[in-house]
Structure 1
Amino acid sequence: MSRRARPLAALAALALLLSGCGGYDDTQVRSEPPGTAAPPPAAVTPPGCLTDENPTRSYEPTGALPAPGDLPAGSAMAEIRERGRLVAGVSADTYLLASNNPFSGQIEGFDIDMVEQVAQAIFGDRSAYELKVISAADRLTSLQEREVDIVVRNMTINCVRWQDIAFSAEYYRSGQKILVRQDLADEGIDSLRELSGVTVCAPSGTSSLDNIRELAPGAFIEEAANHTGCLALFQQGAVDAITGDDTVLAGLAAQDPYAVVPEQKAFTAEPYGIGIHEDDVDLVRFVNGVLERMRADGSWQASYDRWLAPTLGKGGVQPTPVYGRVP
């Protein structure tokens, strides 16, 4: 149980949030009471993982980005073009990155702009895509089972995931922080060292969950399918705090008057990459070419300024890519 009661007025905020989900919310919250679930097995580090000096290293683009009509025959891009649409795995409830707009019924945000740029490069039409809403825990399997062509769902590049899928170059650098209730922030609960006895929520299958277990062993951990599920638990008083990337937490805080992201230093570096099937190295190189074009024509900066700058500030810049990975 949460060590502090949640203000009852938050229930009204919960009702307002859920009423605006527009049918895209796929939240599934664990039904077990805190403490009853068995601890997860210890992670096994794949051979070679610790020797990778930079897991953000990706495959370098091959020459100039081809025009939609000049895609190499037999390439993953040509197959996508023949199908008639790009299929992308995304979130629908990560405000600012990818969330359902209840007024338009469309999923929009910074991550969706990345999808549109890839679709534009393949088809010459930035609307030629299909969005498949997936949970954080489904990001790898959706690629491995070829349910999607790419995953653009604020996914951190790390050497463990490179064992299962491939990544584009880094397209955004985030960092993990904590969100707490305003009253807890007023009491000084604003950092990892203050989380002992605090119930913290993180989505299943995320690096955020792994990190909080390791770095705040005195905290009580609850899981949800995604950050909307964590926000629901937070508003019900079942958890005191939520952890995740600063981009995600900023979006949650904007939806709840009792939530605050205290001023704090990020305790991880979270380099976001576009996930791609491990066999589609040609598509990885192509997407990296798209990201390079976005740097050159200013479209990455325009997307950041639209979606993230109002909350995170105007200092955001597109990360410098690191190439040199070989198939």
Structure 2
Amino acid sequence: MKLRNWLTLVFAAALLAGCGSPGPPVDPAPVGDVQRPTPAGTDMSGQVDNSGPAAPECNPRASLRPDDTIRPGSTMDDIVKRGYLIAGVDQSTNLWGFRDPHTGELQGFDIDVATEIAKDLFDTDDPPIRFRAINSGQREEVLKNGEVDIVVRTYSITCERMQEVAFSTVYFEAAQRVLVREKSGIQGIADLGGKRVCAAENSTSVDNLTEADPQPAPVQAANWTDCHVLLQQGQVDAVSTDNTILAGMAAEDPSTRVVGPPLSEELYGVGIPQQNEDMVRFVNASLEGVRQDVWRARYAHWGLGEVLGNMSPPRPVYR
């Protein structure tokens, strides 16, 4: 047989073999219901541990009288000698403490308050300040451990917290309400009995949810932005926290709205290590200037009136 004829036969045989049956198809792995992932640290159990001892009664509005004197050896003197103020703040709550997407700088009403305190401390319009981003559950911890000088993070003053840390006078009055999806039909907390409602862990908002009637099923997340994500994904029916924080969420997401009557009164103060009474007095002196000179301007700058209405700085109360 000539070589050409032999190669033709080999090629034809190979072609026929390639056209044979590929065999039965392989079944893909079975796919069940796919659950959307939840943010890290989210507790969906609906259980809240509030079994601790009841805090003694107090006047959460009352703080120490102001004194802006920086004496040798004082807390303020030590901070000035160090060369910068350390402030615990939020970095993920729109309008209050968040990172500007263009500059990466922290901005918001609470950032403005912390900066004003640093300006008075260092007597300059461009003060040295180092921001430490913390979540709501870390506020007492970083103060008690001396990791920060102050915490300015939508920090509600309560009698229970006053057993662990000190507070300035009230610089903002908020109220807990509810954020829902626009077309949910939910009008307030009364419509959320047995339904999942998200709040930040270790916040007063969680405690208030356990006292609501009818009681919802609290979901606890590390940050308010995590609650917003859970609402957008349909994993919770509502987010409940201060109307100040909800205002920022609603501004970012027009498909949501703030509804219902207030669940509680929330009084924001600057958190300070309990032993640093001189720093409490200094911060209170600084807040006197904030109320007079910058409060209304920053309130307008961040557009808070669009959701919260016309407000004025709260009057200080001193012990």
Q: TM-score range by the shorter chain?
A: 0.7 to 0.9
Which amino acid in structure 1 is aligned with residue 273 of structure 2? H
Indicate the residue corresponding to 2:144 in structure 1. 144
Among 270, 273, 277, the alignment partner of 2:273 is 277
Indicate the residue corresponding to 2:239 in structure 1. 242
Indicate the residue corresponding to 2:189 in structure 1. 192
SS at 1:118 equivalent = helix
- Give the CA deviation at 1:310: 4.4
- Structure 1 runs not aligned, ≥5 long: 1-10, 12-26
Residue 94 (1) aligns with residue 93 (2) = yes
Residue 301 (1) aligns with residue 296 (2) = yes
Residue 60 (1) aligns with residue 65 (2) = yes
Q: Which structure's CA Rg is the greater one?
A: 2
Indicate the residue corresponding to 1:158 in structure 2. 158
SS at 1:89 equivalent = strand
Which amino acid in structure 2 is aligned with residue 168 of structure 1? S
SS at 2:41 equivalent = coil
TM-score by length of 2: 0.84
- Point out the structure with the larger strand share: 2
Q: Distance in 2 between matches of 1:41 and 1:212?
A: 12
Q: Distance in 1 between matches of 2:61 and 2:215?
A: 31
Q: Distance in 2 between matches of 1:252 and 1:272?
A: 19
- Give the CA deviation at 1:216: 4.2
Query: 5 Å matches for 1:1-327?
Result: 29-30=40-41, 34-35=44-45, 39-46=48-55, 49-50=56-57, 52=58, 54-62=59-67, 65-66=68-69, 71-125=70-124, 126-184=126-184, 187=185, 189-262=186-259, 264-296=260-292, 298-312=293-307, 315-324=310-319
TM-score by length of 1: 0.82
Which amino acid in structure 1 is aligned with residue 117 of structure 2? V
Question: Does the 8 Å CA contact 2:305/2:311 hold for their aligned counterparts?
Answer: no
Q: Distance in 2 between matches of 1:40 and 1:205?
A: 10
Q: Distance in 2 between matches of 1:287 and 1:28?
A: 35
- Structure 2 runs not aligned, ≥5 long: 1-35
CA distances 1:128-184 after superposition (whole Å, capped 9, x unpaired): 100000000000010000110000000111111100000000000000000011111
- Give the CA deviation at 1:248: 0.2
Change (3 A) 1:113 1:178: same
- Give the CA deviation at 1:215: 1.1
- CA RMSD, Structure 1 to Structure 2 (Å): 1.8
Count of aligned residue pairs for this structure pair: 282
Question: Does the 8 Å CA contact 2:247/2:308 hold for their aligned counterparts?
Answer: no
Question: Does the 8 Å CA contact 1:28/1:224 hold for their aligned counterparts?
Answer: yes
Q: Distance in 2 between matches of 1:282 and 1:192?
A: 41
Q: Distance in 2 between matches of 1:96 and 1:41?
A: 30
- Give the CA deviation at 1:308: 4.0
Which amino acid in structure 1 is aligned with residue 116 of structure 2? Q
Indicate the residue corresponding to 1:5 in structure 2. none
Change (3 A) 1:308 1:56: farther
